[in-house]
Amino acid sequence: MLNFKNLVLTFVFIAGSLFAEDHGAMKTKKDGYSVKWQIKAFSSAAPDFIADYATVIGVDGSVLKEGTNGWTCESFMPMPEGGFPSAHHAAPACSDKNAVAWATAYKANEVPKLEADGWIWMLHGDLGVDNFTLGTDGQKDAGHEHYIESGPHMMLMPKDPSSLDGLSTDYTTGAPYVMYSGTPYVHMMIPLENYYDYQPESNPKNN
C-alpha cells in the first residue's frame, strides 16, 4: 500500500507540474470583490477539468456557482476592504469532499474526521504559514522561524494522520514534505512549478 501511495504521489507531482499555471498576476482593479471575479479567481485554483464543474463558494459563504463533480473552490482568506490585490492574496483552494471536511475542522479548531484521504489544489499558492505552528496564516512578517509562502501546490490531507509519521518536513528540497507534523492537522504539501516564486530564498536552486 505504501509503495502504491508513493507512485500516486509521484504521478500527481509530475502531472500537476504540467497543468500548473501562475495566476498571481490577476489583479482585482475595482471589481476584486465582485461575484464574477471571485468565481474566476477561486475556481482557477485547480485545472479547468476540475474547476469548470466545481461548486464555487463566495467569501461571505454563499454559493456563487453550483457544481456537479463534488469539488468545492473557495478562498482561504477573509476579504480585505476594497477587494483582494490578486488571486494569490485570496489563497483560493479547490477541495474534494474529504478535504472540505478537513478545512472545516481546521477553521473550527476541531479534530478532522475524514472518510478517506482528501486532496486540495492551490495553483495560486497561499500567503504562507510557519511549517510547524498552527494559526500563523498570512503572518510572513511576524518573525516565524520556519515560514513558507507557497506558490502553486497540491495538498494531501490524510484520513490517518499517523500515515505521514517519519516523512520529511524540509520545504527547501522541492520534494513533497509534511506540514504541521505531530498535530491533528498534519498534511502533505506537494510543490508544483513556480512553488518558490514568493520565497526564492527557500528554492533548492538558491541553496
Question: What is the total count of domains within the chain?
Answer: 1
| Coil, strand or helix at 8 | helix
DSSP state letters, 130-149: ETTBTT-TT-TTS--TTEE-
* pLDDT given for residue 140 in this prediction: 87
- Measured between alpha carbons, how far is 145 from 81 in angstroms, rounded to an integer? 29
| Coil, strand or helix at 34 | coil
pLDDT in tens, 92-132: 999 999 999 999 999 999 999 999 999 999 999 999 999 99
- Measured between alpha carbons, how far is 46 from 35 in angstroms, rounded to an integer? 18
Q: Give Dmax (Cα) for the chain.
A: 50
pTM to 2 decimals? 0.84
pLDDT in tens, 133-166: 998 888 888 899 999 999 999 999 999 999 999 9
Are 177 and 188 contacting, i.e. CB atoms less than 8 angstroms apart? Answer: yes
Distances (CA, A) of 96 to 48, 90, 153, 154, 187: 15, 19, 15, 12, 15
- Look at the block and give the residue holding cell 468545492: 72
Domain coverage including residue 78? 2-206
